[in-house]
Structure 1
Amino acid sequence: MDWKSSDPVVPGPRTEDHLPHTARAAVKIVIVGGFGVGKTTMVGSVSEIRPLTTEETMTQAGIGVDDNFGSDSKTATTVAMDFGRISITEQLVLYLFGTPGQERFWFLWNGLFEGALGAVVLLDTRRLEVSFDVIGRLEERGVPFVVAVNSFPDAPRHPMKELRAALDLSDEIPIVECDARRRASGRDVLLTLMRFLHSPATARAPV
């Protein structure tokens, strides 16, 4: 049966999707992390425009290939990228690119990293080991990043000092807690990244 929308079809972008006329600078930010850590959720919650997602239904083909620990109820997964936009100030706009989490799609990351000013590493404390390769790839590319610990109800909580040691992070790299479902929390993470990018330590770091 053909599906028909009751909404009128309006050509071109919606009014709310237009770039604010006050915008003077646009910055590309990538949201990275393992499978099921909440990247699509974060992009969707903070985006001021309707987010673009490339989610596909998970099938039996992924069994034994994709690590879905802690995400048993997840029925779809990002296969290319998520995209959203948020205005941090009237002049500064961030373009957000969420990466696919499954390792078999990580070859797409190189293209998404191109031109990125910085990154947010979204962390699930139930699967810390997934973040090692993620952080390593950012360090290899010279992309500055902050770490955001996403709050899952059944996830163990660790002191930030222990998490920093486990991830082998320098003292300069911020680690913050967040709830990827909440717009204010995600925005705070992005503000932390922007402050870090403007810090003297980041300015001295080799790219």
Structure 2
Amino acid sequence: MVPTLPSSRRCSVDSVTSERGASGTKLTSVKIVIAGGFGAGKTTFVGSVSEIRPLTTEAVMTTASSEHDDLSGLPNKTTTTVAMDFGRISLDRDLILYLFGTPGQHRFWFMWDDLVRGAIGAVVLVDTRRLADCFPAVDYFEQCGLPYTVALNCFDGTQPYTTDDVREALQIDAAVPILLCDARDRESTKSALITLVEHTMARVYASTAGPPAIPRPRW
């Protein structure tokens, strides 16, 4: 089952807001979604890169929840996100990303429309040991037309599959970036976010034949 998107609502890349910083610098803030299957590392991803203490809605897994959630490959998982994760990172002095991590279990998919509304793009975090778990997220963003990238989480610092292997398995268009990522490492997760912003900017530029509203960061 894939999260459904009402026909009257589509994802939008138009929700770019501007404000003034303390020094008078014009700041641009955008919303990014971190999605993926149950146990793919979304909470870890947000926590590793956020400049503020991340807001999490972690709950201890009960016997009842373990009966519904597939824990294969996750023997040490004792908590799960039940609403969202939230963090913030400044990619540049005038570009701020607000990160919203989605819950992975299918029983919480009803929240996705609200969490995704206003986002400019999404990172789909993938555990290749449980590749099928990312199908709903990929299908969701394909359906609503939101730019996304696929980040292969390197558990234990290794990745047994190449990006080409995963692209073929997921049948993802060649234009969608697929990259390796260690959700525990700040530089790795920051790089994944930069890739998404650049991909989104390219999509917007191609569709409008003009410069996007998002300022190009000076990495």
Q: State whether TM-score is above 0.5.
A: yes
Superposition TM-score, scaled by structure 2 size: 0.81
Q: Displacement of 1:25 after TM fit?
A: 0.5
2:100 is aligned to 97
For 1:166, what is the secondary structure of its paired residue?
A: helix
Any conservation in 2 of the 1:58–1:77 contact (CA below 8 Å)?
A: yes
1:30 is aligned to 33
Structure number with greater Rg is: 1
1:107 is aligned to 110
Any conservation in 2 of the 1:23–1:90 contact (CA below 8 Å)?
A: no
Match of 2:88 among 70, 85, 88: 85
Match of 2:145 among 138, 142, 145: 142
Map of 1:33-48 to 2, 5 A cutoff? Answer: 33-48=36-51
CA deviations 1:74-94 (Å, max 9, x no partner) are 111100000000000000000
Map of 1:106-125 to 2, 5 A cutoff? Answer: 106-125=109-128
Whole-Å Cα distance in 1 between the matches of residues 206 and 147 of structure 2? 10
2:156 is aligned to 153
Gaps of 5+ in 1: 1-18
Moved over 4 A (4+): none
Q: Displacement of 1:142 after TM fit?
A: 1.4
For 1:97, what is the secondary structure of its paired residue?
A: strand
Percent same amino acid among aligned pairs? 52
1:67 and 2:70 are equivalent in the alignment: yes
Q: Displacement of 1:203 after TM fit?
A: 3.4
Residues 202 and 193 (structure 1), Cα distance of their counterparts in 2 relative to 1, 3 Å cut: farther
2:57 is aligned to 54
